Amino acid sequence: MPRRRDEAKALFRNAILEAAEHVFAQQGFHGARIQDIAEHARIAVGTVYNHFEQKEDVLRALLEERMEGLIDQLAPLPSEPERFEDKLRARVTRMLQYVEKHRNFYVLALEHGLFVKGSVSAGNALCRPVHHIERFRATLGALVEEGIASGALRPMDPSRVMWFFGGLMRTFALGSLEKGAMDLEAEAPIIVDLFLNGVGARPSP
């Protein structure tokens, strides 16, 4: 019986977060109400309050859970190819697939400055998944350092390489979302190519 209760609790919590992801993106955090989230999830308002005391807690839980999922996509897998370029392409593809699946989360994350270090929104009372942000940066940093060690990336300050890579990912993801592109992961090869080779014309052999 306790196991069934835990499973039911997890199902309701997931339904609340899925609904909140949609409602916050459509109405904005300040315009959304707990009643709107409950209505979208097709559950009673009291059920939402059984899991979260206030709207801020729902947003914080949503951002933390989705960040955890994004970190998982960037983390290494045993089945990954050995060559750095192929490995990078595989991870970028997984991340874009995740963003595609959770478009509303990505819009929320950008709105609250979740990917921008030192932003006002990222440090405010609405969203403070600091350890998740640091874990994401650490995972990305490990990937960059692996690229430098393998010779695939130039031996330069890893933090600068991370800034460039992160900015490239944000630009492509946001641009695709704004255009309503339906196949976001198709951008992975061009992102990796631009990251590794730039946009300068290559001399003919």
What's domain 1-53's architecture? Orthogonal Bundle (1.10)
Q: Is the pLDDT of residue 169 over 90?
A: no
φ/ψ of 149, rounded to 5, equals -65, -35
Query: Cα–Cα distance between 35 and 42 in angstroms, integer?
Result: 10
Q: Is the distance from CB of 67 to CB of 136 less than 8 angstroms? A: yes
Task: Indicate the SS3 state at residue 135.
Answer: helix
Q: Is the distance from CB of 112 to CB of 122 less than 8 angstroms? A: yes
Q: Is the distance from CB of 91 to CB of 143 less than 8 angstroms? A: yes
Domain 54-197 has CATH 1.10.357.10: yes
The residue extents of the domains of the chain are: 1-53, 54-197
- Residues whose CB is less than 8 angstroms from the CB of residue 86 and which lie 6 or more positions away in sequence, other chains included: 80
| Pick from 17-21, 45-49, 57-61: least confident | 57-61
Residue % of the chain over a pLDDT of 90: 48
Q: Is the pLDDT of residue 119 over 50?
A: no
Instruction: Provide the pLDDT for residue 121.
Output: 45
* pTM over cut 0.85: no
Instruction: Provide the pLDDT for residue 118.
Output: 46
